A and B are shown apart, each in its own frame.
Chain A
Amino acid sequence: GAGVSQSPRYKVAKRGQDVALRCDPISGHVSLFWYQQALGQGPEFLTYFQNEAQLDKSGLPSDRFFAERPEGSVSTLKIQRTQQEDSAVYLCASSDRRPNQPQHFGDGTRLSIL
């Protein structure tokens, strides 16, 4: 079946612009996670949704970062007034509600801020 889909795969923006990154989770997956992966580093947690509810946003680095999942399926991560330190790969993962189910990751969006 289809996996987690992220778009765009690559995004280049000028400093100060707003960007929006999309994640289509696996159909029926209740949980959705966003991670940020800086170059040469492991992914770091940003935020978590269960259905449409954002249950944890403790990893969002600043109030310029905003995520939503209004209908409990597709999610969008928005970054306002981008800065160079926002350059990273943004990974989305989804998982089933059943116990012991692992997270399935998309291929990520590589964001470059000039």
Chain B
Amino acid sequence: AQSVTQLDSQVPVFEEAPVELRCNYSSSVSVYLFWYVQYPNQGLQLLLKYLSGSTLVKGINGFEAEFNKSQTSFHLRKPSVHISDTAEYFCARAEGSSNTGKLIFGQGTTLQVKP
């Protein structure tokens, strides 16, 4: 079965430091990957998506991710975090061959930005 694994449940980091949130996926012919952010008591907001093309994807709020087929990874990065980036982050993939199908999510990574 297709799956997504987020390797870190919590990532503490100081404000203005760089951060990387790790995500690995199970290999398949076609892969469509997403990163979502969830603030407390809110729904999920799309940060960025990889559907095809360039392996470096830029998203909102200064985040970017790199699709690495050989390592089956899609790690999320930000060069300098803010307190306001404190939230839960979810990596997800679309199931099957369509990029608009149901999403399979990882367990989530809590990003804790400290002053």
User: A72 at the A/B interface (Cβ < 8 Å)?
Assistant: no
| Distance in angstroms between the alpha carbons of A31 and B46 in the assembled complex | 17
Known: A100-B51, A102-B34, A102-B49. A43 touches B100 (CB 8 A): no
Residue numbers of B with Cβ under 8 A of A are 34, 36, 41-46, 49, 51, 90, 92, 95, 99-108
Give the segment of A61-69, A73-81, A103-111 that binds chain B: A103-111
| Distance in angstroms between the alpha carbons of A56 and B103 in the assembled complex | 13
User: A44 at the A/B interface (Cβ < 8 Å)?
Assistant: yes
One of A33, A42, A95, A104 near B108 (C-beta < 8 A): A42
> By the criterion CB–CB under 8 Å, are B43 and A42 in contact?
no
Known: A4-B43, A106-B43, A107-B43. A95 touches B100 (CB 8 A): yes
> By the criterion CB–CB under 8 Å, are B100 and A42 in contact?
no
How many chain A residues touch the partner (CB < 8 A)? 27
One of A48, A59, A108 near B43 (C-beta < 8 A): A108
One of B44, B49, B108 near A41 (C-beta < 8 A): B108
User: A99 at the A/B interface (Cβ < 8 Å)?
Assistant: yes
Q: Nearest residue in B to A107 (C-beta to C-beta)?
A: B43
Listed by A's residue number, 16 A-B pairs whose Cβ atoms lie within 8 Å are A33-B102, A35-B103, A43-B103, A43-B105, A45-B102, A56-B102, A59-B102, A91-B43, A99-B99, A101-B100, A102-B34, A105-B43, A105-B45, A106-B43, A107-B41, A110-B41
